[in-house]
Every structure is written in C-alpha cells, then in structure tokens.
C-alpha cells in the first residue's frame, strides 16, 4: 500500500505460441468468478517483478520471466483503490497447477474481448491489443 492507501497489485500477461494466459478468480475470492491476469499484491520490501515471479509460482506452479512493464491502471473498487501494474512475461517452464483459481485459459488475442474481466483489467486488455497491432 502507498501513502494514499492505494493497494499495488502486479499482474502477468504470460505469452506462449501467440496466446496469453488468463485466470478465473474462484468463488471464495473478491471479484469472484471474474477473469484476470494472474498476480497479486506487492509486499512492502519486494520489487514488482520479484513479487510477480513469486505469486505466479505460488498460484500456478510455473516459472515466468517478466520483460516489459505496461501502463499501470488505478481503479476504485467499493471501499478500496488498487493500482494494477501489468507486465508482459515469457513462459519459463513448469506445468500449470491451480492453487487458488477456478480455471485458466490460453487465449488468442481475438478472444480476449469475450471474457468477463475484473473492471481494472479492461484498459490493460486494450493496451495489449494495441501493442500487438504495433508488433505486426
Ligand atoms: N491478481 C490480480 N488482481 C486483480 C486483477 N485485476 C483486479 O482488479 N485485481 C484485484 C482483485 C483483488 O481485489 C486485488 C488483488 O488481490 P489478491 O488477489 O492478491 O488478493 P485478494 O484481494 O483476493 O485477497 P485478500 O488478500 O485481500 O483477502 O486486485 C488482475 O488482473 N490480477
């Protein structure tokens, strides 16, 4: 959390074979059953990328290598505000085992718009689609 009370959350856009990994929050989590890019809250004495690597290993059992930070999104949920910080990541090995999430999909860019996203993720999806267009 920073001085304004905003909660810092990092999330990973893990890419493999032209698809990106998306996860569905479980019924027990806040924002239940909505889709997100996996990640979590940054602890006080941890870098963003170290946090992301740790969270993805803990939640999904895979290794990742973050390589590009995207534009952070500040979003107000009832009672709290988060700053969602996305990173493009390479998949670094391991077999996905879900420890917290309900489900996961490897999604092609054209299908990203069909998911029911956490509201904070909508600008991230838009930026990612734009970035892919510029890569062509
Ligand atoms: N990991 C992740 N969280 C997101 C995304 N979009 C989004 O709005 N969030 C929200 C959901 C949660 O409110 C918060 C992340 O918190 P978390 O998953 O680490 O923990 P939590 O709130 O479920 O659980 P708690 O520790 O507060 O009880 O950020 C996203 O793409 N990835």
Question: What pLDDT, in 10s, does the model give residues 29-65?
Answer: 999 999 999 999 999 899 999 999 999 999 999 999 9
Query: What local confidence, expressed as pLDDT, does residue 103 receive?
Result: 98
* Predicted local distance difference test score (pLDDT) of residue 40: 97
Q: How far is the CA of 18 from the centre of ligand 1 (A)?
A: 26
How many degrees, rounded to 5, is the angle at CA 115 between CA 59 and CA 54? 15
Q: Hey, whose CA ends up nearest to atom 2 of ligand 1?
A: 39
Q: Quick one: pLDDT at residue 136?
A: 79
- Which domains are assigned to the chain? 7-135 (3.90.79.10)
Rounded-to-integer distance, Cα 39 and Cα 77, Å? 17
Tens of pLDDT, residues 67-107: 999 999 999 999 999 999 999 999 999 999 999 999 999 99
pTM: 0.95
């Amino acid at each position: 959390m920073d001085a304004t009370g905003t909660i810092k959350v990092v999330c990973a856009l893990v890419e493999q074979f032209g698809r990106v990994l998306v996860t569905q929050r479980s019924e027990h989590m806040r924002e239940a059953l909505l889709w997100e890019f996996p990640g979590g809250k940054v602890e006080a004495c941890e870098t963003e990328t170290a946090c992301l690597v740790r969270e993805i290993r803990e939640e999904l059992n895979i290794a990742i290598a973050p390589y590009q930070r995207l534009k952070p999104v500040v979003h107000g949920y009832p009672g709290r505000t988060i700053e969602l910080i996305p990173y493009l990541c390479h998949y670094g090995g391991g077999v996905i085992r879900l420890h917290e999430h309900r489900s996961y999909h490897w999604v092609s860019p054209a299908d990203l718009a069909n998911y029911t996203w956490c509201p904070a993720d909508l600008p991230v999806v838009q930026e990612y689609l734009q970035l892919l267009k510029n890569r062509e």
